Chains A and B, each alone.
Chain A
Amino acid sequence: MELERHEYDVVVVGAGGAGLRAAIEAHESGARTAVVCKSLLGKAHTVMAEGGIAAAMANLWPEDNWRVHFRDTMRGGKMLNHWRMAQLHAQEAPDRVRELEDWGALFDRTADGLISQRDFGGHRYARLAHVGDRTGLELIRTLQQRTVALGIDVYMECTVTRLLTDEQGITGAFGYWRESGRFVAWQAPSVVLATGGIGKSYKVTSNSWEYTGDGHSLALQAGATLVNMEFVQFHPTGMVWPPSVRGILVTESVRGDGGVLKNSAGNRFMFDYIPDFFRKETAETEDEADRWYEDKKNNRRPPELLPRDEVARAINSEVKAGRGTPHGGVFLDIASRRSADYIRKRLPSMYHQFKELAEVDITAEAMEVGPTCHYVMGGVEVDPDTEAARVPGLFAAGEVAGGMHGSNRLGGNSLSDLLVFGRRAGAAAAGHAAGLPHRSELPDAALADAARAALAPFEREGGENPYTVQHDLQQTMHDLVGIIRTAPEMEQALERIAVLKERVANLSVEGHRQYNPGWHLALDLPHMLVVSEAIARAALAREESRGGHTRDDFPATDAEWARTNLICASAPDGSVALTRQPLPQMPSELAEIFES
């Protein structure tokens, strides 16, 4: 078999924020490090992040500190977050942001010359370090340039299809060059998964083609576990028109900077959807909400800035009740509330995006927006301090890891998550590799098996087209495991997924191995199916509504479920097995933070 072989201490799968941060840290810890990514370097989905990096730097609000950030994060996740991850995240985020400046990042500034911070949903103080509305681009470019400056090897347009293990744990990874279709294997005692999310299993999503849940699925295959998979975040504001751009993100900064949501009757409906949980800190009248933008000390926040799950559900209800826009969304209006100059300065890429893609001038008219699948809170179950999964040598950071965000992620906490846990994962992966006395050779049989599996779609004649199967999966998840869920629908979804699995086993692709997108999709589909099954199974089991998981048949939160995590593992037959696990207990000094 024709196979390119490499040897490293640490292989990082994924070159988004978490992957690059992990690679930089592993390299600086002395490990021989490689990054493997499906796209070109610098194109990872992190570039899509707009709003900012949440970090309690207290540049604008001296009252802010990690405890407040910790509290906001836990409350945003409806207390289902792993407390230790939320704590580390809140404590370390400011240093991770400052470090970016040493690598060339240029954030917007305060009058004092410090990093400026902006308001965002669920954050008590203005906390998001940002660059206009293109913070993700700044983050990825900074890390990319740092990676290049350090001379870290990057395998671009290269897809990992298998993790290789023996009884001691991880031994390496197997994949193919997208460009040539040739196979490549990396022998490495540590693998860091930083593959991002799963959004491509849904029809309306802000995620790119890369988000096929590879990391989730590879971890399961290797024997690791997933946690919180039932929690999928639907961002409340995605574009709804024209159809070809449906799902593309409209940043939360529009609301942070003064935009409001209105239904077709022109009402600011969010005032009708304030949950008791957040009533104390949310404005009751439009006047108070409007005053908040100017005077944050003496007024409470507008309800448009409630956590994302609340806003997404409210929009969903308005549209269902017939108060939506002609294209099935609601209006997001900043034009009537801020000057054209202000809008263009604060939200340049939104202005551009609507102008170019929808021919809407957001300084003159309202945007039409609706919920879009955005983020999966669930992911690989990891140790909070080291991001180690249950398989020795396997680490996970960023969206592919679970636990940090509980049942719902606050805006801005994702970019800080990438940095904080990317760094920790990189350091721990380097440490793990350094502590291993000898390296296991990659067994030829396992490599041959991986190659055979990858080539299988070429062997079959007359099978189905992978694009059709993907389309059917997306429709299934959209219709049956979407924002609002019921038991019968999810049971139906599981039946359909079982059928789809059979169809995937019989796919065939045309052409040859060189840069063949049909083949690439055929290899991604099994990942998407496993992840979809995990989501559906966990969602069916959790008989309550919480954060990113809303059950029409169980609309309330449940005290017993508040103490329970659902863990997904791979069953011997390749399906997803579910177990319940008690939530880790928060120490009393942290619990006190919530009593005030």
Chain B
Amino acid sequence: MTATAPRRTGAVTPGSGNGSPPPRRAAIAARHLRTDRWWIQPLVTMTVLLAFVVYSSFRAFQNAYYFAEPYISPFYSPCITTGCEGDTFPEFFTGPSFISPAIYILIIPLGLRATCYYYRKAYYRSFWLSPPACAVGEPHRRYTGESRPPLLVQNLHRYALYAALVFNVILTYDAVLGFRDETGEWGHMGLGTLVLLANAALLWLYSLSCHSCRHIVGGRLNHFSKHPLRYKAWTQISRLNAMHAKFAWLSLFSVAIADAYVFLLATGTISDLRFF
């Protein structure tokens, strides 16, 4: 097939280049004409995210009440300094005592969530107001999005995912340890075990449904038919991916609930409901 070299570039537009002023948009003064309560969603998102940030910061810096045999709070696992309560993970080093062990850890889940394609939407809309809602004008004068530093770093999402997958293994291990009793004997189970298990499951669902994961598993292929197994995996992950936002919220809540449960146990406010 022969193709002739292009002579011109597509459409001919009328009246261009005749010295008339540049085209103008319709003169509508209002920033938007939406009649629904579009501000509710960004407001709710902002409130919930802020509440989580406040709570998790408080807990991370508290450096106490994160271990109640046999449970460890997900904020403090894997606990890797010699200052750690309990004995759930090898203690690698002794950091300055004013740094809570949680600080070494939270960087990973924080990195995953901060660069997550869903949370990006959520916080760009609710915190940055860029845009606050669809077809509602944003307040900024300039906008370059993720096209330059620092936001270019969002492209490293997949590394946060790899690290988070390792954490998922550890948190699953923690949940399994919940089948021991206070003395380390296996064959025990309490409400705390369930809380940790549910948290681990939701974290797995959240990370596996991630867009980067979907891409790595099969999305980058152009010929699915030549890779039937990866296609199958991609299909399954695509199905989960449709619920990524839901898992993002549920796992956020479950982490906070798991931590709060351990906190309540460790402070002696409640005692664990024992099944057997």
- Chain A contacts to B: CB under 8 angstroms: 4, 27-28, 30, 32, 34, 41, 99, 102, 148-158, 177, 179-180, 182
Contact = CB atoms under 8 A, between A and B. Distances in A.
A102 B7 CA distance: 21
Contacts of B13: 156
21 contacts: A27-B4, A28-B4, A30-B4, A32-B7, A34-B12, A148-B10, A150-B6, A151-B6, A153-B8, A153-B12, A154-B10, A154-B11, A154-B12, A155-B12, A156-B12, A157-B14, A158-B14, A179-B15, A180-B15, A182-B14, A182-B15
Contacts of B12: 34, 153-156
Contacts of B183: none
A157 B15 CA distance: 13
A145 to B, nearest CB: 10
B152 interface: no
Contacts of A152: 8, 10
B contact face: mostly helix, strand, loop, or mixed: loop
A150 B4 contact: yes
Contact of A28 (B2, B8, B9, B15): B2
Contacts of A158: 14
A150 B8 CA distance: 8
A178 to B, nearest CB: 9
A177 B8 CA distance: 20
Contacts of A102: 1
A151 B14 contact: no
A29 to B, nearest CB: 9
A32 B6 CA distance: 11
A150 B3 contact: yes
Interface string B206-231: 00000000000000000000000000
Nearest to B5: A151
Contacts of B4: 27-28, 30, 150
Contacts of B15: 177, 179-180, 182
Contacts of B9: 151
A187 to B, nearest CB: 15
A146 B86 CA distance: 68
Given A151-B7, A153-B8, A177 B14 contact: yes
Nearest to A177: B14
A497 to B, nearest CB: 34
A564 to B, nearest CB: 43
Nearest to B14: A177
Interface residues of B, number: 14
Contact of A151 (B1, B2, B10): B10
A149 B8 contact: no
A153 B4 CA distance: 14
Contacts of B7: 32, 151
Given A150-B3, A150-B6, 4 more contacts: A28-B3, A30-B4, A41-B11, A182-B14
B6 A149 contact: yes
A28 B6 CA distance: 10
Contacts of A154: 10-12
Nearest to A158: B14
Nearest to B8: A151
Nearest to B20: A180
Contacts of A148: 10-11
Contact of B11 (A27, A156, A179): A156
Nearest to A148: B10
A155 B13 CA distance: 7
B6 to A, nearest CB: 3
Contacts of B1: 99, 102
Nearest to B11: A154
Contacts of B10: 148, 151-152, 154
Interface string B1-40: 1111011111111110000000000000000000000000
A27 B2 CA distance: 11
A580 to B, nearest CB: 44
A154 B8 CA distance: 10
B154 to A, nearest CB: 31
A149 B4 CA distance: 10
B63 to A, nearest CB: 55
A157 B9 CA distance: 17
Nearest to B9: A151
Nearest to B10: A148
A339 to B, nearest CB: 20
Nearest to A156: B11
B113 to A, nearest CB: 35
A180 B3 contact: no
Nearest to A155: B12
A102 B1 CA distance: 9
Nearest to A28: B4
4 residue pairs, one from A and one from B, having the closest CB atoms: A151-B6, A177-B14, A151-B8, A148-B10
Contacts of B2: 28
B31 to A, nearest CB: 27
Most buried by B among A32, A150, A182: A150
B11 A180 contact: no
Contacts of B11: 41, 148, 153-154, 156
Nearest to A99: B1
A99 B11 CA distance: 24
A180 B14 contact: yes
A148 B8 CA distance: 9
B191 to A, nearest CB: 41
A99 B9 CA distance: 23
A4 B2 CA distance: 33
A433 B130 CA distance: 55
Nearest to A109: B225
Nearest to A41: B11
A27 B13 CA distance: 20
A62 B195 CA distance: 62
A152 B5 CA distance: 10
A70 B269 CA distance: 87
